[in-house]
Structures are given as C-alpha cells and as structure tokens.
Amino acid sequence: MGFGIQELFVISFLLSTILCVVALLDILRSEFTGYNRLLWLLAVVLFPLIGSIAYFVFGRKQKVP
C-alpha cells in the first residue's frame, strides 16, 4: 500500500506547519539585537516555509548568546 497524492500533501502540510511553529517559538524565546526579532517574525509569518528554513539557516546565528 503506497501513499497517494492526498497523503503526501497532508504529510508535507503537517511538516511545514510544525517547522513554522518551532521557528516562531524559537524566535519568541530568544534575544536578538535591534529589529532582528521583528524581521524574522514577519518573514516566518508572511512566508512560512521559506521564512522558517531561512531562519534556521541564517537567523539562529544572529541570536544574542
């Protein structure tokens, strides 16, 4: 029994939603300099999948230790 297109769509939707929620929680719990937090929040909210991926690749390096 294989996956149909609907099952793949649901799985990809759930994964992208989880990724977005994790990114938003990480942004809200972390300290940033200047307006970086606001910019990352806007990026993730306006472009959920691309913004979340970009945050995990580039944004986590901008956090204040």
Average pLDDT over residues 11-36: 96
Residue 26's nearest CA partner among 59, 50, 2, 48 is: 59
Element (H, E) at 57: helix 48-57
- The count of structural domains within the chain is 1
Contact 29, 55 (CB under 8 A): no
pLDDT of residue 65: 77
pLDDT of residue 1: 63
Chain segment 33-62, per-residue pLDDT in tens: 999 999 999 999 999 999 999 999 999 888
Q: What range defines the domain where residue 13 resides?
A: 5-62
Contact 27, 44 (CB under 8 A): yes
Tokens 């990724």 found at: 19
- Please give the structure tokens belonging to residue 59: 């944004």
